[in-house]
Structure 1
Amino acid sequence: MRNNSNAKILDLRETQIAIKSLKDYFQRDLANTLNLARVSAPLFVRPETGLNDNLNGEKAVNFKIRNYDIDVEIVQSLAKWKRNALKKYHFGIYEGIYADMNAIRAEEFLDNIHSSYVDQWDWEKIISKIDRNSEYLHLIVNEIFSVFKRSEEYINQTYPYILSAKLPDEIFFVSSQELEDAYPNLSGKERENAIAKDKKAVFIQGIGGNLKSGKPHDLRSPDYDDWSLNGDIIFWNPTLNSSIELSSMGIRVDENTIVDQCKKTGNEERLTLPYHKDIIEKNLPYTIGGGIGQSRICMFFLEKSHIGEVQVGVWDDETLKTSYDKGIELL
């Protein structure tokens, strides 16, 4: 983590104003580009519905609505809920939704880009079954990247002393297997750093399934993304001198891949849950969707060194001391 040279330019109050301005611009452009309508989102769901995101096995924060003896879980993402909502709200093909997703991840390891509080735009769009291919996936990635590019231009015009042109003209596409072949002696995170430093903006496709090495590039829950048609949007962050993932997204599982992926991970018991049964029985639309980190976008474009500079959080004593010593003001 390096000291942020812009800390004296954007003080705490100015940072708050800049965050609001950037978020407003980005979500409007995202909605217009992908044809998305904003909807309200749940903060918690019943675990027996199967709608919560199991992530990589992390236990969701849970509580009981005491007067009614109802058990609920804080959402970990809206990946499954959105697909269900698209049907419930009667959206049509190539129409979609987005929502502000706020989550608590109690098992998260805290560092300069991770906190226990997650804020992101979760979006989902109905597609045709024939769109379940790499060409359509890349089309949507390019559209999202165009939103990032316009947001960069907007924020640099608003704050001209911020470093311009952090992003290249085009995003680079690479599969996770191609990346492993190119950097066989590096870990998944090290490969991301290497390719992001070289290309500045990259979409790594195919995350969740085992590669030739016998290990996946990274872990993914088996019941929402199709592991061959998903990926991460990763930028090179010169403020941190490392890569930063700003979006995880993909074409969602169909009636076949959800069964196959759950079997591969030993999660067959999930297939009896209402959400999973609806996919297997083709009661839900085919979709593409993902999440885009709000605080991480603010970190990247406002050139902040710690996520605590753009969101209010709770930090351990070591983080507080290290940040203070480096002149980083946490909210």
Structure 2
Amino acid sequence: MSTKTYIPEHYAPLLNLYDTQKAIGLLKRVFEDTLCGSLHLRRVSAPLFVEASSGLNDDLNGVERPVSFDIPAAGREAQVVHSLAKWKRMALYHYHFPVGEGLVTDMNAIRRDEIPDNLHSIYVDQWDWEKVIAPRDRNLDYLKHTVEAIVCAMADTQKTLRSVFPQLSVLPQVHKAVSFVTTQELEDAFPHLTAKEREDAWVKDHPTTFLIGIGGALQSGKPHDGRAPDYDDWTLNGDILLWDDLLGRAIELSSMGIRVDAAALDRQLKTAGCDSRRELTFHKLLLEDKLPLTIGGGIGQSRLSMFLLGKAHIGEVQVSTWDDETIQTCHDAGIILL
């Protein structure tokens, strides 16, 4: 397999190896504190794996294989999480969080079928957050307001980093003004481009974008991208995309949305052909209106670190496993993989 690693011309890291580690630590502390203050979140502990029979694991696009293993002492089969999208909602239910408050946690996942490149690794680290909302909050205005708060937290974190590491001031600033666009509007504007090419074409001119409506079929009959049917409401979700000058492309920093209620879950399970999930514990509780209404998402820790520190490869800010060709390509370019 040929390497998918792209080396920008004349690329040189702005921070040395040790300063990179210090900056990552500062970034994570500042961003999490800012995010919690903006969205009224409290930190909780989260699982590395869940029982396979619980229905709590996220199946992403529906084709990725979870890392599974048996636990002989418990007589159970477990799966390393892909994300905590459904677990978080159950946690809010068990912890009895009130409306307007939520949780945040570190999510560490293994996605064995990921194709590694500059932005992708089989190891995924992100801030997973989830917040209880009222029925009146299940609308686009509430979603947009939340997106703007997250983007402001990114921009404020960047400001702090620049004050401690002035060499980062040469990087483009995070634009706080968010461009909101739907996946259908992108398809209409760029009908002959692929989904990712549409994102690049739009975000290049709108450097902070929230792309709305992922998972449902567009007028072409195809979805912009896959999204599991049992956590986001496909009409009230989206991705935060920033333009990365170094890589010359849009990068997704967050996938998020207002979660399905009973009606949306019923509709999306039918559409996705996943009616068998109705018998799982999580889905039963949701269909019976026993789980709180929520909004939530994941924010990539390594990707945000890449963007704010001006790194070309995700392996510069996280420890993972790479193929020989990627290792050699990075070595030849002077890129140190952690």
Which category describes the TM-score, using the shorter chain as reference length?
over 0.9
Q: CA RMSD in A?
A: 1.1
C-alpha distance in 1 between matches for 2:47 and 2:60: 17
Q: How does 1:92-241 map to 2 (within 5 A)?
A: 92-162=98-168, 163-241=170-248
Return the offset for 1:67: 2.3
1:33 aligned partner? 38
Return the offset for 1:287: 0.2
SS in 2 for 1:124: strand
Equivalent position to 2:57, from 52, 63, 72? 52
2:3 aligned partner? none
Q: 1:43-75 CA deviation, whole Å, 9 max, x = no partner? A: 111111111101112111011112232111111
SS in 1 for 2:251: strand
Return the offset for 1:3: 5.0
1:323 aligned partner? 330
Return the offset for 1:166: 2.8
C-alpha distance in 1 between matches for 2:9 and 2:320: 20
C-alpha distance in 2 between matches for 1:160 and 1:302: 11
Of residues 133-142 and 156-165 in structure 1, the stretch that sits farther from structure 2 once superposed is: 156-165
> Would you say the 8 A contact 1:251–1:288 is kept in 2?
yes
Q: 1:264–1:135: structure 2 CA closer, same or farther, 3 Å change rule?
A: same
Unaligned runs of 5+ in 2: 1-5
> Would you say the 8 A contact 1:83–1:284 is kept in 2?
yes
* 2:303 pairs with 1:263: no
> Would you say the 8 A contact 1:296–1:307 is kept in 2?
yes
Q: 1:96-147 CA deviation, whole Å, 9 max, x = no partner? A: 0000000001111111110010000000000011111111111111111111
C-alpha distance in 2 between matches for 1:27 and 1:167: 17
Q: 1:237-276 CA deviation, whole Å, 9 max, x = no partner? A: 1111111100000000000111111111110001111100
Matched length: 330
Which one-letter code corresponds to 1:13 in the other structure? Y
C-alpha distance in 1 between matches for 2:21 and 2:319: 11
* 2:19 pairs with 1:14: yes
Q: TM-score, normalised by structure 2?
A: 0.96
Q: 1:193-235 CA deviation, whole Å, 9 max, x = no partner? A: 1111111110000000000111111100000000000000000
> Would you say the 8 A contact 2:171–2:310 is kept in 1?
no
C-alpha distance in 2 between matches for 1:36 and 1:229: 21
C-alpha distance in 2 between matches for 1:244 and 1:157: 25
2:302 aligned partner? 295
Return the offset for 1:4: 6.7
C-alpha distance in 2 between matches for 1:107 and 1:266: 23
Q: 1:74-95 CA deviation, whole Å, 9 max, x = no partner? A: 1110000000100101110001
* 2:316 pairs with 1:309: yes
C-alpha distance in 2 between matches for 1:262 and 1:326: 47
Return the offset for 1:160: 1.7
Return the offset for 1:185: 0.8
1:91 aligned partner? 97
Q: TM-score, normalised by structure 1?
A: 0.98
> Would you say the 8 A contact 2:155–2:173 is kept in 1?
no
Identity between Structure 1 and Structure 2 (%): 52
> Would you say the 8 A contact 1:172–1:203 is kept in 2?
yes
Q: 1:126-185 CA deviation, whole Å, 9 max, x = no partner? A: 001111111111111111111111112111222222224432240110011011111111
Of residues 86-95 and 148-157 in structure 1, the stretch that sits farther from structure 2 once superposed is: 148-157
SS in 1 for 2:204: helix
> Would you say the 8 A contact 1:166–1:200 is kept in 2?
no
> Would you say the 8 A contact 2:51–2:78 is kept in 1?
yes
Q: How does 1:56-67 map to 2 (within 5 A)?
A: 56-57=61-62, 58-67=64-73
